[in-house]
Structure 1
């Protein structure tokens, strides 16, 4: 399918980047990658967007993969069909299993079939990740802001908003939740939850418990701070949609109350005093006094706080946190001959993730830092001119996942952000 607004923007960007041919080529490859390789428009009017070299659709990845196209949907009927269809597909999946993170295109039982308890045939993987509830609401809100397309608010999509609230509320008190997850003989300990699949004990904080991070690795402590920050943001979006579109004051009030409880929990239990960096956010906590100080490449991350809309880029606590993240004090910050940046325990061996480099650029306020990050991204593709999951900072030819559409989309989003900042007007359709 042809997307006219995408082709027009690509042509404009090629003209704007003509003095940076390597950047222009990499952008031209990465920007349409999701559309060209991972989108299936289905007969029921929904859209299946798989992640790349894994044939399943993650609620998180699919939302992030189409993110650069959302502003263009206002003037592109075909993009509206794609994105609204994806939103409806996400609503369908959350109605099937709101605790699952990844789904099949058909109920064919593919995926991690040995996980306990057993999962339905639509589910590829049933790791409960708080961000999997956040991303569909984030996408819906952005799509509405871009298009004002009321047709997207089907009964199923409205039901999705209620489901998100129900599950978040339930997981504020995980000790009473029925959710369990175990993977027999996991490849890594982070692929399963301890204590019979319940996870380590937590105290009530007002925050929402998450079994797994957006890396699909198990949380060490159950309250993942950046995911709860994302929840605060999207609950604000949900409340706004409930009032302004659905005329449902009760739904809005419920979202606002939950939002306030989570925010209080973050500020009460998620802030620490670091001996070097001062007042900063922890990555995880259990509400019992333990904190995990790190950041992970996958979004939501602490680095992505301004991108998510939780705090501005000049917020003092964020700036302290950012200095920690981009230093050797973060155990997953790696530096080598070719690049320096944030990686993830999901890819052992000290690999840097292009997603983290792009997010560092999207949240940077220094033009020189952005320029250096663009140079690092385009020079570490091992000649492929595509982003990868992770690469070794001393040898970019050592990389994981050659086909990872989320990374390509986020890189393209960073380039668009950078190009808009350098011109009087951002290129438009």
Structure 2
């Protein structure tokens, strides 16, 4: 039985035991760690837990995963964390079964939507927005696998769980051939980034073996239909699930066959289409997006999954040469969304104004290194961006920390907490 008051008290106690190298960094960590479980988490019933993204009253499948993922670091000392994660996962999977093409959902079937336009295929009253983002389907599966890895529990691996996994895999397989899919998203009177071209079908693509995605983790439209970090994420969750099935001797032969084939096809697609040279003499790197027709988009976005986050998610090692070459490219002015100013330098997003760096991306720089000094520097950099609010924001102007987007963004708060846990683990080994 989920006891939110007890969980809050136990997390507060755990947070109070942490003292970082600076009072500001410590204060931000303690506030961020307790803020999500106090202000965004709402039990729906005895099994499901709703998690609002922060200043928007909807639950994103992706955001909610990364909002609660850091709490797994406390699962051995705070038993209620397991109940929290199971409840969030139950809610996520119920949403997926309701509509695997939606990215964000209402707490109840209130009929609230991001916009009131009626150009799209009608969406249900439970759906906040129906942007198809492949990472939205990966995130709950990643959370389920991480719950198993950190606790050993299998309580969440019910027949309904595996039915939902099968639904997700069937959706991915269908979108390997998007030209035959019924999915469209055509929103009028909006920026091009908020809708799909070609009457809602997206730009033309050729077959690659990868899975098509309409939108990025930023909720912006993909320029080219194959989002490489999203496909990397699919490989990660399939690898995690196959390992789990093997360890627990779970009888799912058809699902195992489908996942194994899909994983192999995506890996081949990434190798054949997404490894490119920025210039004829440059080392190869991963592209952010490709279309299978020869076009590539060389960039990275602050939102996770990103190319920067590949080792954090488990796609590759930090020392993988191709990753390091890609990292060097995206953490430089060669990335059109890398910004540097008097106060900050890092990756932003076309989703926010130019010259705004995201604390999520600053944290990811630290989460993808084992250099303690570098991790410490990223903690200090993020702690200096809150402008006295004790909140991590969406994007912060490189020359002025008082200029930022989103007063309250729980995903950013919890990615900072994830970085602090990474720091504490490295420090314990030092």
Task: Normalising by structure 2, report the TM-score.
Answer: 0.95
Q: Does structure 1 residue 333 correspond to structure 2 residue 335?
A: no
- Give the Cα–Cα distance (whole angstroms) in 2 for the partners of residues 326 and 243 of structure 1: 38
Corresponding residue SS for 2:17: helix
Give runs of aligned pairs for residues 169-208 of structure 1, distance below 5 A: 169-186=173-190, 188-208=191-211
1:21 to 7, 23, 27: 23
Query: Which range moved further: 198-207 or 79-88?
Result: 79-88
Would you say the 8 A contact 1:101–1:128 is kept in 2? yes
**Greater shift in the superposed pair: 91-100 or 145-154:** 145-154
* 2:377 corresponds to 1:372: yes
Q: Map residues 193-232 of structure 1 onto 2, 5 A cutoff.
A: 193-232=196-235
Aligned: 1:397 with 2:402:
yes
Equivalent residues in 2 for 1:93-108, closer than 5 Å? 93-108=95-110
Instruction: Measure, in 2, the Cα distance between the counterparts of 1:422 and 1:240.
Output: 30
Q: Is the CA contact (8 Å cut-off) linking 2:16 and 2:30 kept in structure 1?
A: no
CA contact (8 A) 1:233 1:309 kept: yes
User: How far does residue 391 in structure 1 lie from its aligned partner after superposition?
Assistant: 0.8
| Alignment partner of 2:305 out of 282, 293, 300 | 300
Partner Cα distance (1:71, 1:411) in 2: 13
Find the residue that maps to 1:274 and give its secondary structure.
coil
Measure how far apart 1:327 and its partner are. 0.5
Partners of 2:372 and 2:427 within 8 A in 1: no
Q: Following TM superposition, by how much is the alpha carbon of 1:144 offset from its aligned partner in structure 2, in angstroms?
A: 1.4
Residue from 237, 240, 243 that aligns with 1:240: 243
| 3-state SS of paired residue (2:124) | coil
Q: Which moved more, 1:382-391 or 1:49-58?
A: 382-391
Secondary structure of 1:250 counterpart: helix
Query: Whole-Å Cα distance in 2 between the matches of residues 99 and 243 of structure 1?
Result: 29
What are the ranges of 5 or more consecutive residues in structure 2 without an aligned counterpart? none
The partner residue of 1:109 within 93, 111, 122 is 111
Query: Residues of 2 paired with 1:287 and 1:354: CA distance?
Result: 32
Q: In 1, are the aligned partners of 2:12 and 2:30 still within 8 Å (CA)?
A: no
What is the SS of the residue equivalent to 1:239?
helix
CA distance in 1, matches of 2:231, 2:319: 20
Q: For 2:200 and 2:243, how far apart are their aligned partners in 1?
A: 36
Partner-residue secondary structure (3-state), 1:278: coil
95-104 vs 66-75, greater mean Cα deviation: 66-75
Q: Which residue of 2 aligns with 1:323?
A: 328
Quote how far apart the aligned CAs of 1:24 are: 0.8
**Whole-angstrom CA distance in 2 between matches of 1:12 and 1:74:** 15
Q: d(CA) in 1 for partners of 2:369 and 2:130?
A: 35
Cα distance in 1 for partners of 2:322, 2:31 equals: 37
Question: What's the counterpart of residue 88 of structure 1?
Answer: 90
Task: Give SS of 1:134's match.
Answer: helix
Q: Distance between the aligned counterparts of 1:409 and 1:22, measured in 2?
A: 16
What are structure 1's unaligned runs of at least 5 residues?
A: none
- Which one of the candidate residues 349, 355, 373 is aligned to 1:350? 355
Number of residues of Structure 1 aligned to a counterpart in Structure 2:
421
Alpha-carbon shift at residue 277 of structure 1 (Å): 4.6
1:337-364 per-residue CA deviation (whole Å, 9 max, x = no partner) reads 1110000000022210000000011012
After TM superposition, the structure 1 stretch with the greater mean CA deviation from structure 2, 23-32 or 245-254, is 245-254
The residue aligned with 2:153 is: 149
Deviations 1:48-91 (A, max 9, x none): 00100000000000000001112323453422221101111111
Instruction: Describe the superposition over 1:347-405 as per-residue Cα deviations: whole angstroms up to 9, x where unpaired.
Output: 02221000000001101243332222222111121111210000101011001111100
Verify the 8 A CA contact 1:41 1:82 in the aligned structure 2.
no
Q: Measure how far apart 1:7 and its partner are.
A: 3.2
TM, length-normalised to structure 1: 0.95
> Are the counterparts in 2 of residues 182 and 196 from structure 1 also a CA contact under 8 Å?
yes
Contact 2:370 2:426 in 1 (8 A): no
Q: Tell whether the 8 Å contact from 2:212 to 2:226 is kept in structure 1 after alignment.
A: yes
Question: Would the aligned equivalents of 1:277 and 1:324 in 2 still touch at CA under 8 Å?
Answer: no
Contact 1:88–1:156 (8 Å) recurs in 2: no
1:2-27 deviations in Å (ceiling 9; x for gaps): 2265234312213xx2x411111111
Tell me how far 1:44 sits from its aligned partner: 4.3
In structure 2, what is the equivalent of residue 407 of structure 1? 412
Instruction: Measure the CA separation in 2 of the matches of 1:335 and 1:424.
Output: 33
SS at structure 2 position matched to 1:66: helix
Residue 358 of structure 1 contacts residue 410 of structure 1 at CA under 8 Å; is this kept in 2? yes
Q: Distance in 2 between matches of 1:205 and 1:234?
A: 20
The residue that corresponds to 1:309 in the other structure is 314
Find the residue that maps to 1:391 and give its secondary structure. Answer: strand
